Amino acid sequence: MSSKLLSSKDWKNRKFHEIALVKMGQSPPSATYNNQGLGLPFYQGNKDFGLKYPNKTIFCSGPKRIAEEGEILFSVRAPIGDINIAIEKSCIGRGLSSISMRNGNNDFLYYLLKFNSNKIKSFFETDGTVFGCLTKDDLNNFDILVPENPIEQKAIAKVLSDLDDKIELNNEMNKTLEEIGQALFKRWFIDFEFPDENGNPYRSSGGEMVYSKDLGKEIPKGWKFGKLGDYVILVKGVSYKSEELSKSENALVTLKSIDREGNYNKDGLKEYVGKYKDEQILFSGDIVVAHTDLTQKADVLGKPAIIREDSNYEKLIASLDLAIVRPKSEHITRPFIYHLLKTNTFHNHAIGYANGTTVLHLNQKAIPDFEFVVPSFTVTQTFGEIINKITLKLQDNELQSEYLAQIRDSLLPKLMSGEIRVPLEASQ
């Protein structure tokens, strides 16, 4: 069996083992797993993968197979072909292989594998079904086209990695901006250190506090006890059938659109041709909350996300796994609601309203019953103005990252096939 590959004067078809070293993962005993940071980060498969580098959630104190820093992580169990880079020495389980370039050009290897990922899948396809896993021999014997000159390999990798690095920088910046927003919320609405009329922290500057019997604590004068149901409108998402998930100008925002940190993920969109109500249509800035959770520790249940505009679709519609949360009036703004729902206090409250075993569902009363301190109109408005500026920067970074990703994705096949050649000095 052989794959059809392009040829070029100074590019050659090679067996994969000629250019790379493949190391297959091996899962250690489950007793060695922990989430306290003991040992090495443990990765079992593509579920642990981030954009370019894996997400550390589980550690292993007794690793069997180790990926060294900079080696390429390649998933070898269905779905096969997902790729990340080991940012540090790590333990890898059976779902992964760790691959390194014989000449040390691992950055080039990362993009070479990304370009060839679909070819590898199709190469090991039988009767339309991809094998459940790839063996070391499968990978070693795969035919792959590469430039012979290691300097050209470095030049290609640099063009693509510069784009990815900027995307990663934007993601890190957005993470920091999100943390700033949440820290500001805590300081203003939990610690009560919002600016007074002189711009000084209210509580520590002697701002008047009054005791609330309902909340059992002191709160700023003029603030009051409230339940979220008095200030927001809830809209249930649409119930749909699998046959309604078909090519369309509309898309469902699904449970996968909310990550474990409570951030919006466009990869969770599913094209949809079914019916929906007008109130189930989502607009940029709308807040959705996860009403279903498939994780073992209720990591997503009750987590909010802010909808972003998507030029690929005419309409975005909330799915049944989500609830739309909209303010009833200007007194409680969307920025305030979003950050209130992101607090650990609300998440713990939501877990207390969870039903189910394998699949958790959030009780319809969870959001309306949540008790909180209702701030003054002036403070919520000022907070909203600050957060809206942060949100604009977040959106600018996201749009720039999408544009850079489009450039990268259009360059990848051209650079990796030799259609576009880069100056060798580009590797510097």
Tokens of 389: 């500026």
Instruction: For the chain, give every domain's residue range.
Output: 11-148, 224-374
Tokens of 137: 């021999």
CA 132 from chain centre, in angstroms, equals: 25
DSSP annotation of 333? -
Mean pLDDT of the chain: 90
Give 208-245 pLDDT, tens digit per residue. 999 999 889 999 999 999 999 999 999 999 999 999 99
Query: Which pLDDT score is estimated for 4?
Result: 41
Instruction: With cut-offs at 50, 70 and 90, classify the pLDDT of residue 5.
Output: very low
Bridge partners of 129? 126
Query: Which pLDDT score is estimated for 425?
Result: 66
Instruction: With cut-offs at 50, 70 and 90, classify the pLDDT of residue 123.
Output: low
Fold match between 11-148 and 224-374?
yes
Rounded to whole angstroms, how far apart are CA atoms 306 and 262? 9
CA 33 from chain centre, in angstroms, equals: 24
Question: In the predicted model, what is the mean pLDDT of residues 293-321?
Answer: 88
Which residues, including other chains, have CB under 8 Å from residue 108's CB and lie 6 or more apart? 101, 153, 154, 156, 157
Largest CA-CA distance found in the chain, in angstroms, rounded: 82
Contacts of residues 390-397 at CB distance under 8 Å and 24 or more positions apart, as own/partner, are 390/177, 390/180, 390/181, 391/285, 391/306, 391/335, 393/177, 394/174, 394/177, 394/178, 395/308, 397/170, 397/171, 397/173, 397/174
Rounded to whole angstroms, how far apart are CA atoms 167 and 161? 10
The topology under which CATH files domain 11-148 is Adenine-n6-DNA-methyltransferase TaqI; Chain A, domain 2 (3.90.220)
Q: Is the pTM of this model over 0.75?
A: yes
Q: Is residue 381 a contact partner of residue 360, using CB atoms and an 8 Å limit?
A: no
Give 6-16 pLDDT, tens digit per residue. 345 688 999 99
Rounded to whole angstroms, how far apart are CA atoms 388 and 386? 5
224-374: CATH class: alpha beta
Q: Is residue 328 a contact partner of residue 231, using CB atoms and an 8 Å limit?
A: yes
